[in-house]
Copies of this chain bind each other. A is one copy, B any other.
Amino acid sequence: MTKKIVIVGGVAGGASAAARARRLSEDADIIVFERDSFISFANCGLPYHIGGEIEDRDALLVQTPESMKARFNLDIRIQSEVIGVDAERQEVTVRELASGREYSERYDDLILSPGAVPIVPPIPGVDSESVFTLRNIPDMDRIIRKINIEAPRSAVVVGGGYIGIEMAEALIHRGIETTMVELANQIMPPMDPEMAVPLHQEMRRNGVRLQLSDALEKVEETAEGLELSMRSGRSLQTDMVILAIGVRPENTLATMAGLAIGEKGGIQVDRTMKTSQPNIWAVGDAVEVRDFVTGAPAQIPLAGPANRQGRIAADNIFDLHSEYKDTQGTGICKVFELSAASTGASEKMLVAQGIDYEKIYVHGADHAGYYPGATQVHLKLVFDPKNGRVLGAQAVGAKGVDKRIDVLATAIRGGMTVFDLEEFELCYAPPFGSAKDVINQAGFVASNLCRGEHAVCHAEDLPEFSDDVVLVDVRNPTEITVLGSIDGSVNIPVNSLRDNLDRLPKDKTLVVYCAVGLRGYVAYRMLKNLGYQVKNMTGGYTTYQMVKRIGQ
C-alpha cells in the first residue's frame, strides 16, 4: 500500500527526511509544506551573504522546489502554512498564504521539522522596523535592504552566540560601526568564560565594541535612528539592531496536536524520533534531545543533527531500525581571524549539573613550531578524574581548531578516555602537526592527573599570597619582562632550578608555573622527586591571564 507522508518544514530536517523517504520508496506520496518561499536553503550561510563573502545569493539555495521535485518527485507546496494537526484523524490543515485558502490533507505519517524561532524579548520598542532577527532568506533580504538603501553607520548586535558573532563580523565587513551587547560576562555561550577571553580580544581588535554583562531594556525611534537603553543605565545611539539572543523551538503545531513538550519547549521524541502520538515524528531544532555526555534533556539547534534526524525519522517510517544517539553539541564559529569550537560538556554545564570533573589546559602549536606559520591552539579538556572519560573540549586559535575538536568529538562519541588520547596516532609532517600533537599532550597531562602523577593548581584557586605558599615562576626573565608575572612570585628559570634549590623551602607548598604548563610540570616533577610539596598551575601564565580577564 502506498504510504502518504506529510512533512512540515522544507529546510534542513524536512528536506532531508523527504529525500531519504523517496530513496526508500519510489511510490510513497510525499508532500512537503513550507510556509516560506524557500526550501533547502543554507541558513548557516545567511550572515556570510550579508557580510559579502558569499557574493551570490543563489548560492544559498542548495535546492529549489523545482530541482527537488525533479530529483525526488516530491510534492512541494511553498507558501503553505500548516495551521492545524488532528492526530486522531491523521490530518493536517493547511493555509495557502497567497490566497488564504485553507484545506486539509490526510497523512499516514507526519514529520514535523518546523525549526525554531528567534527569541524576541518583550521590551518596549522592539517591534521597530530597524530591529532585525535572522532566521531565513526574507530576514536576510530585509537586513541587506536596510544596509544597501539606508547605509547605516552603526549597528548594535544583541547577543553573543554563534549568530550574533557572525553578524557582528558581517557588519564590520560592511563598514558599519558595530557594538555587541551580551547579558553574560562572555560571548560564545557553549564555551567557558576564560576560553571566551581571546575571542573578546579578537572582536575588539577588529573594531567591535563589546559590552558584556549588560542587556537591552528599551528601544526608541528618534530622528537620528534608534536610542537604546541598557540595564546598566547606559544608552546607545544606533541605526539598527540585530537581535540574536537565541532561539526557541517552534512548537505551535505540536502543542496543538497535544504532543508531549519538554521543559524548554522542545517536542519530546524517542530515539526513533517518534513523538508521543502515533505516526507523528519530529526532528530538528524543534525537538528536545538528550545530551550525549550528561544524559540531560537539551535544546541544541544545529544543522548536522537536524539533517541526521530527518534521515532517521524517514528510516523508521519505513521500518528500518534506526536510532538517534543523542547530541554532543559539537559547534564552531569563525571569529574574524580566530576560530572557536567546542564539543561535549563545558565546565559550567558540569558545575550546574553537579557532575564531578577535572580539567586541564594545553596551549600548543597547530603544527611543528620550526615550520613557518605555526599558531597557538588553546585547548581545554574536561574529563572524569575517576576513570579518565573525556567529557568535553573547547579550543580557540587561528588554525587547526576544527581538527582538534573533531578528533575529540570522535573520542567522546567513542566513549574514549584521556589515556586513549595519549596513544592517538595523528597525522604528522611539519606543515600539519607535531610528533606529539596538542591532543596527545592534553592526553599526557590529563592522564598524569588521573594517575596522581601530577598535582595541579588551577588559576582561579591560586591561594591568596600567604606565608604557607611560595609561587615559583620558572620562565625566563625576558618572558616576564614582556608579559608580566603573578605578584609575589619568585623567578627561578626551570633550567637553573637545580642550582637554586636552597631558595625553596621544604615546609611550604610550592606553586610552580611557566608560560603554558610544560616547564612548570618539568619543575614539578623535579621538585616532587626531591621531596618538596609542590603543585603546577595548569595552563601556566597563559591560562592565568585568561582567567584573570574573565568578563573583560
Distance A35 CA – B26 CA, assembled complex (angstroms):
72
Q: Name the residue of chain B whose CB is nearest to the CB of A415.
A: B414
Q: Name the residue of chain B whose CB is nearest to the CB of A412.
A: B425
Question: What distance in Å separates the Cβ of A394 from its nearest Cβ neighbour in chain B?
Answer: 12
Inter-subunit contact A339/B432 (CB<8 Å): yes
Distance A270 CA – B405 CA, assembled complex (angstroms):
33
Question: What distance in Å separates the Cβ of A419 from its nearest Cβ neighbour in chain B?
Answer: 10
- Mask: chain A, 41-60; 1 = CB below 8 Å from B; 0 = not: 01011001000011100011
Question: What distance in Å separates the Cβ of A370 from its nearest Cβ neighbour in chain B?
Answer: 4
Q: Counting CB contacts under 8 A, is A478 at the interface?
A: no
Selected contact of A427 from candidates B308, B332, B370, CB within 8 Å: B332
Q: Counting CB contacts under 8 A, is A232 at the interface?
A: no
Q: Name the residue of chain B whose CB is nearest to the CB of A529.
A: B26
Which of A233-241, A462-470, A491-499 lies at the interface?
A491-499
Q: Counting CB contacts under 8 A, is A215 at the interface?
A: no
Q: Counting CB contacts under 8 A, is A62 at the interface?
A: yes
Inter-subunit contact B430/A372 (CB<8 Å): no
Between A62, A73, A328, A423, the greatest number of chain B beta carbons within 10 A of the residue's beta carbon is seen for A423
Inter-subunit contact A333/B429 (CB<8 Å): yes
Selected contact of A23 from candidates B54, B60, B525, CB within 8 Å: B525
B residues less than 8 Å from A424 (CB atoms): 406, 409-410, 413
Distance A45 CA – B433 CA, assembled complex (angstroms):
12
Inter-subunit contact A371/B48 (CB<8 Å): yes
Distance A166 CA – B431 CA, assembled complex (angstroms):
11
Distance A67 CA – B7 CA, assembled complex (angstroms):
67
Selected contact of A495 from candidates B67, B415, B494, CB within 8 Å: B67
Q: Counting CB contacts under 8 A, is A162 at the interface?
A: yes
Inter-subunit contact B407/A427 (CB<8 Å): no
Selected contact of A425 from candidates B27, B59, B409, CB within 8 Å: B409
Q: A42-B370, A341-B427 are in contact. Are A71 and B332 (CB under 8 A)?
A: no
Distance A368 CA – B331 CA, assembled complex (angstroms):
15
B residues less than 8 Å from A431 (CB atoms): 334, 339
Query: In chain A between 10 and 24, which residues have their CB closer than 8 angstroms to a CB of chain B?
Result: 12, 22-24
Q: Counting CB contacts under 8 A, is A6 at the interface?
A: no
Inter-subunit contact B428/A44 (CB<8 Å): yes
Which of A86-94, A257-265, A299-307 lies at the interface?
A299-307
Inter-subunit contact B12/A70 (CB<8 Å): no
- Residue pairs across A and B with Cβ atoms less than 8 A apart, 10 shown, are A26-B529, A45-B368, A53-B372, A70-B495, A305-B425, A332-B427, A341-B427, A402-B427, A402-B432, A406-B427
Seen from chain A, the residues whose Cβ lies within 8 Å of a Cβ on chain B are: 12, 22-27, 42, 44-45, 48, 53-55, 59-60, 62, 67, 70-73, 162, 166, 292, 302-308, 325, 327-334, 339, 341, 343, 368, 370-372, 402-403, 405-407, 409-411, 413-416, 420, 422-433, 435-437, 440, 494-496, 498, 521-522, 525-526, 529-530
Nearest 10 A/B pairs, CB to CB: A414-B414, A26-B529, A332-B427, A70-B495, A303-B435, A59-B370, A403-B403, A23-B525, A330-B425, A402-B427
